[in-house]
Structure 1
């Protein structure tokens, strides 16, 4: 921008002088002292290189150059008002809508209750409820959507948060090994297998990029894993296959708790294997999630699951 262009507040002052015919009246409308107003006029005159006002006993009169500047300034002020209105609309739109991507376990078993709780709190305090849109996919894809600016906020699962993204720990989860109720492991007493036996058994697993699969493969990295019996792209499909007798699977404790409680699936302990993992909220930008519904949602989830 040219070094000869005054700032908006200075231009606004000059337009008010033209309307009121008085520097003191213009200063009063802007909520500044007459001394401050005079200083702004001198700054503008220095930038432009020409007097803009003539002071008289009856007030302030625009010079010929001052009158030209006011004509141009009105167009600038109109554009600034349009810009301000547009930015306010963008901010309101951001506060009214929040796009989220979440790993399948979080999307299916945790996020819905978080969204309901946040909207209920907003209604309780008289705040317009946020419209949430959610994409459910694997953790790798969630990280890509957040990095690409295609969603405002992400939730992922895995041993550690994705590189290059801001993050906050939401909860610590653990994978558990489950089988169908007719599987031989379900008949054992106690129901326990070794890590080596698990690695040697064809499993029903999630697809590449899934946080669930990443945790399992890292936990068994020192052992040679048998080829999977099935590779499926959703937790619900894995649960259905295990219940039908396809083979064992390692899934989130959140995902299988109802099926284990009902007897549809049977949980089998694994000796000498750490299957814990962390659930993180991820975003780009500042150290904290963006103000508004994104931060409300992350704060609620962290409190709820801690």
Structure 2
């Protein structure tokens, strides 16, 4: 077996044959003689050291080895397409790509304007933004999937260097007519016996609520859990419970969904969003530019 003899043109040809079941049809599409296309498949079989196709009068079907090669061929060809796209960016003047992971609070409230301002000043830098839970963000930075991350304080982040990004004020949201709707401010302990709408339990916001409930020696009545701030507001508007959410994130929904915002008189309701990076001194220049912009 000599897999170093594999070439991309033959892999692409084989992939098309595997999908169509016909060498002659693929040869016609590729503007090749049937014999030339068949020879490329035979050369692949020689390199692999096993038959890849079972040829018959109705066309061709994959052998077990052919199925294995098809799986790898699809992945290889997809990687090549991605490589071509990335290199074309650099050829057109791209300086670099920043892989930024951020939690929903940052993505919803602050990053749209911050990133828009950065790109306006640095159009040659591309940002790949991934929205994730705070714990997943820390792991992504630690294992190199993200250049840096933005997550809530209280998130375990051992091994990362931390910088302040933004302050984030939590408030309570209730539907019209709720028993708390007439209050301007409440303490969490006044609301803990009501039904709650929350994000999934592994998110930093849900963990914070659970921690504070435990500290009160009470039990949180989690009525429903959804994946987004918008969905939480819709559930509250439908009367399914109350929720604790970032103030700026719910601002667009207060009027449209007829929700009532109530201040939280608890110190923990003021959160801090942090930027985490493995080694600030070692990040590439284009990544440093974005970090400096966000911290400025």
SS of the residue corresponding to residue 244 of structure 2 reads strand
1:205 Cα offset (Å) = 1.0
2:273 corresponds in structure 1 to: 279
Alignment of 1:131-170 (within 5 A): 131-159=126-154, 162-170=157-165
SS of the residue corresponding to residue 233 of structure 1 reads coil
What is the TM-score normalised by the length of structure 2? 0.62
In structure 2, the CA distance between the partners of 1:280 and 1:273, relative to structure 1 (3 Å rule), is closer
1:299 corresponds in structure 2 to: 292
1:267 Cα offset (Å) = 0.9
**Conserved? CA contact 2:229–2:250, under 8 Å:** no
SS of the residue corresponding to residue 297 of structure 1 reads helix
Unaligned runs of 5+ in 2: 1-86
Q: State which of 205, 211, 228 in structure 1 corresponds to 2:204.
A: 211
Distance 2:212 2:220 in 1: 14
1:114 aligns with 2:114: yes
Deviations 1:63-90, CA, capped at 9 Å, x for gaps: xxxxxxxxxxxxxxxxxxxxxxxxxx9x
Alignment of 1:5-44 (within 5 A): none
1:262 Cα offset (Å) = 5.3
1:245 Cα offset (Å) = 1.7
Distance 2:179 2:221 in 1: 20
What is the TM-score normalised by the length of structure 1? 0.60
2:96 corresponds in structure 1 to: 96
Computing the radius of gyration from Cα coordinates, the structure with the larger value is: 1
SS of the residue corresponding to residue 181 of structure 1 reads coil
2:7 corresponds in structure 1 to: none
Figure out how many residues of one structure are paired with residues of the other and give that number.
205
Deviations 1:161-180, CA, capped at 9 Å, x for gaps: 62221111111212111112
In structure 2, the CA distance between the partners of 1:195 and 1:109, relative to structure 1 (3 Å rule), is closer
**Conserved? CA contact 2:213–2:220, under 8 Å:** no
In structure 2, the CA distance between the partners of 1:118 and 1:273, relative to structure 1 (3 Å rule), is closer
1:202 corresponds in structure 2 to: 195
Deviations 1:100-140, CA, capped at 9 Å, x for gaps: 111011122221221111111124xxxxx211111111111
Q: Could you say what the CA RMSD is over the residues aligned between the two structures, in angstroms?
A: 2.5
1:6 corresponds in structure 2 to: none
